[in-house]
A and B are shown apart, each in its own frame.
Chain A
Amino acid sequence: MITVENLSFSYTKNPFISGMSFSVSEGEIFGFLGPSGAGKSTLQKILIGMLRTYQGSCLVYGIECKNRTKNFYENIGVDFEFSTMYEKLTARENLRFFSSLYEKKPRPVDELLEMVGLGQDADKRVADYSKGMKSRLNFIKALLHDPVLLCLDEPTSGLDPANSRVMKNMILEEKAKGKTILLTTHNMQDAAELCDRVAFIVNGKICALDSPHNLIMSKGAAAVTYTWVGNGEHSASCPLEQISSDERLKSLIAENRLQSIHSSEPTLNDIFMDITGRTLL
């Protein structure tokens, strides 16, 4: 589906992306994670054929991105980080216009608007929309022509938890239909929840690439922390895989003296910081 080999790109004389190689399978949600300015959006722009002065190879559906024609976009849906709508037109007018640009039969506009909770506001001018509403509208615009590849740049940015949930469910529905999804984000929770694999990008290079689960597990197992009372409150922890040999825990369970017990594992954010030495913001 997507094969990137030895990709390098520069805005100036200094390299911005260098020596990147990876591949994305059909039906996979692949995440690009990294702090602002790391090269995530640039990489996505290369993959959607917007930046064509790169070195190396970048094949999407067997098409070298720098040689793409406009028909390339019949199968690609792009959700930019910012609104790309005509502000003085209504949401419905915008979606009808953009859907008319494709040869494929478009998905029903009203149905998409309802799915993201914008059915009531379909005839409102986009200029009067809030940031979150624009974000949802932008997302469904990318789905209009039922593309096989979706490129989403910070799709949940500016959304409240309820709408963020709706959006994530829709992304998972698209995956279930066999769509390939490229997700650019610095939201680790979204990435851990949605992505089959993630690439950590820092300073234009991939520092790590694996499934969120494998990345988390590779950096130490989960720990169990428990508390009990006896001459004051005490707490202790032990690695999950050694829980059966923790005599204190066994006796506390036998005596019903445990006050609390919970397991904890490193988050993707912890792993990112561990591998890259950077935070995401």
Chain B
Amino acid sequence: MRLKKLFLLDMRFQAKYGFYFLYAVLTLIYIIVLFVLPENWKERAVAILIFSDPASMGLFFMGAIVLLEKSQHTTCALAVSPVHATEYVIAKVGSLSAISIVVAAILALAADTDNLHIVLFGTFISSVIFTLFGIIAATKIASLNQFILWTVPIEAVCFVPAILHLFKIIPAWCGYYPVNVCMDLVSGNFSSAIGFLGVAAMTVILFVLSRFCVLKMWDSMGGVKL
């Protein structure tokens, strides 16, 4: 099955480039941080840690992954293969979500978080959203500097409201904002069905957009900026 092969290749690619080693080290550091924090800080600290790192790693790593693929011209090879953009996107999202969930599970267990299943579901859905954002940005760039510039506005609209929402600094109705719903889930709280519908809608829109961006990237391998 092609999707499975793409998924396994992406995992192998990430392992070969040291992503897993890096996350093993980071997880260890995060666990130490969680252990030294006062008990009453842990709940929010673990939510922030999970949301800002394993859940959003796709946003940051996708730039490196796609740039490496472009530099090795493997995007050209995939562009002239039967691989569909949908498969390409799902494999990338799946492989990065898998590592996100593992790291989040370790952190949540270390902090003795309640509702582990909601935390992991929240991590998964956040990881999907951030990875899709990452794909959209990464397909348009030719250098890491460009990628960093692309991610700044994404970070602004995703991280700032989520942190403010976690500390209840912004009004309660902002809880329906999809990224804030994700933050609730990562904190182990299921906010509302309406909020969750917003997350689902956002995921579908980002998926369609990222698929479109991958197709454009493959077309641009032919040398034309469409």
| Residue ranges of A at the interface with B (Cβ–Cβ < 8 Å) | 11, 42, 45, 48-53, 70-71, 73-74, 76, 78, 80, 82-89, 93, 97-98, 100-103, 141
Contact = CB atoms under 8 A, between A and B. Distances in A.
Given A78-B80, A86-B13, A101 B2 contact: yes
B219 interface: yes
Given A82-B73, A83-B72, A97-B5, A89 B224 contact: no
A101 B5 contact: yes
Contact of A84 (B74, B83, B222, B226): B74
A50 B73 contact: no
Given A70-B83, A102-B82, A51 B223 contact: yes
14 contacts: A42-B223, A50-B79, A50-B219, A51-B222, A51-B224, A52-B222, A70-B81, A70-B82, A71-B82, A80-B76, A84-B72, A84-B76, A98-B81, A101-B83
A101 B74 contact: no
B80 A76 contact: yes
Contact of B74 (A45, A49, A85, A93): A85
A128 to B, nearest CB: 14
A232 to B, nearest CB: 60
Contacts of B218: 50
B35 interface: no
Main secondary structure of the interface of A (DSSP, over half): loop
B223 A100 contact: no
Nearest to B6: A101
Contacts of A48: 80
User: Which one of A71, A78, A82, A86 has the highest number of Cβ atoms from chain B below 10 Å of its Cβ?
Assistant: A86
Interface in B185-216: none
Contacts of B29: none
A101 B82 contact: yes
B5 A50 contact: no
Nearest to A102: B82
Contact of A50 (B13, B16, B72, B221): B221
Contacts of A86: 9, 13, 72, 74
Interface in B2-20: 2, 5-6, 9, 12-13, 16-17
A48 B81 CA distance: 10
Contact of B80 (A11, A42, A50): A50
Given A51-B222, A101-B83, A102-B82, A84 B5 contact: no
Contacts of B170: none
B84 interface: yes
B82 A53 contact: no
A100 B2 contact: yes
A97 B9 CA distance: 7
Contact of B16 (A51, A83, A84, A89): A89
